[in-house]
């Protein structure tokens, strides 16, 4: 097995490059706040979440590539891809496509430090920041307040029929430190320390009463024209999420840029499970852009 570096894999911009109290958990995910709700369906109905129905043929997909173990769908950002994990080389899919061919755009993938059932506290998912908006090239659109508020939920589908729903609560720049090797999540204190650091480095107070701030970031953060992924699924209709208040703060991370978005409605506690979508920042190869969501149906 190829030895991993102690930093996040560098996700190049396109084929020309190779390259809380952390969160107040105001909605109470996983904390029994929904009373007698017993099933995911009841929980989604209670929260007003419509889960898209995807036509996923797992047998057919895994015949093409047995490393496929889940599917990531993030409506509104054109993120609609299988999730893979190599059993022998953690960065194999950085430079290999779903059919095993070498090159770009690569795949959306996780490393072996993460279990494939999403039971880890922090599951880190990597993808290239493609200039045409494919793969994770649309993530920075979340720096736009309206885009952040209107794209609240990401969905992960598993072969066992379980759909995991994540409430996106943060989008921000970070350094290239390896989130799975440079942090311990073993104890409640470890997990709390990590969440505290994320909020502190971004000068944000989780669950604050702040309202939307004027967007002062430079450059165009709109989604623009993105290329939709291949027609591999039949997508159901989704309803627009509720109106979520987002606040933007300045990050003090040296390589993280100057802007971030955090929800004032929800955020994780050390007892939750989160996903981190990670991609490169084109202006700084030692920086990463991270989008994080907390699991709703614990």
Q: Is the pLDDT of residue 149 over 70?
A: yes
Rounded-to-integer distance, Cα 113 and Cα 261, Å: 27
Q: Is the pLDDT of residue 269 over 70?
A: yes
CATH number at residue 199: 2.40.260.10
Assigned domain for 25 exists: no
Looking up tokens 């020309």, which residue turns up? 16
pTM: 0.77
CA atoms 62, 67, 70, 71: torsion sign: negative
Count the domains in the chain. Answer: 1
What was the pLDDT predicted at 206? 63
Q: How confident is the model at residue 27 (pLDDT cuts 50, 70, 90)?
A: low
Q: Which domain covers residue 113, as residue numbers?
A: 40-295
Q: How confident is the model at residue 167 (pLDDT cuts 50, 70, 90)?
A: very high
Strand partners, 153: 167
Assigned domain for 22 exists: no
Q: Span 16-44, mean pLDDT?
A: 57
Mean pLDDT of all residues in the chain? Answer: 77
Quick: pLDDT tens for 80-91: 999 999 999 999
- Other beta carbons within 10 Å of 9: 22
Assigned domain for 20 exists: no
Assigned domain for 4 exists: no
What was the pLDDT predicted at 9? 61
**In sequence order, which residues have a C-beta less than 8 Å from that of residue 63 and are 6 or more positions away?**
none
Assigned domain for 16 exists: no
Q: Is the pLDDT of residue 209 over 70?
A: no
């Amino acid at each position: 097995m190829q030895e991993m570096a102690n930093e996040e894999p560098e996700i190049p911009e396109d084929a020309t490059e190779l390259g809380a109290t952390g969160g107040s958990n105001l909605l109470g995910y996983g904390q029994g706040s929904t009373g007698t709700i017993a099933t995911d369906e009841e929980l989604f109905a209670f929260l007003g979440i419509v889960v898209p129905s995807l036509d996923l043929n797992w047998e057919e997909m895994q015949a093409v590539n047995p490393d496929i173990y889940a599917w990531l769908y993030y409506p509104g950002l054109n993120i609609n891809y299988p999730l893979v994990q190599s059993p022998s080389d953690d960065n194999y899919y950085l430079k290999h496509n779903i059919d095993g061919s070498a090159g770009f755009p690569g795949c959306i993938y996780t490393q072996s430090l993460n279990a494939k059932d999403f039971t880890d506290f922090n599951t880190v998912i990597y993808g290239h920041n493609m200039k045409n908006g494919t793969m994770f090239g649309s993530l920075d659109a979340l720096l736009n307040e309206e885009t952040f508020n209107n794209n609240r939920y990401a969905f992960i589908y598993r072969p066992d029929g379980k759909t995991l729903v994540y409430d996106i609560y943060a989008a921000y720049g970070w350094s290239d430190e390896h989130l799975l090797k440079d942090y311990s999540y073993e104890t409640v204190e470890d997990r709390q320390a990590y969440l505290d650091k994320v909020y502190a480095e971004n000068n944000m107070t989780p669950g604050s009463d702040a309202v939307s701030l004027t967007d002062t970031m430079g450059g165009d953060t709109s989604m623009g024209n993105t290329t939709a992924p291949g027609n591999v699924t039949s997508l159901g209709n989704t309803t627009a999420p509720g109106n979520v208040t987002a606040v933007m703060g300045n990050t003090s991370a040296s390589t993280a840029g100057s802007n971030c978005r955090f929800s004032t409605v929800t955020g994780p506690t050390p007892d939750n499970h989160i996903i981190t979508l990670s991609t490169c920042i084109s202006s700084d190869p030692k920086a990463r852009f991270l989008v994080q969501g907390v699991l709703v149906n614990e």
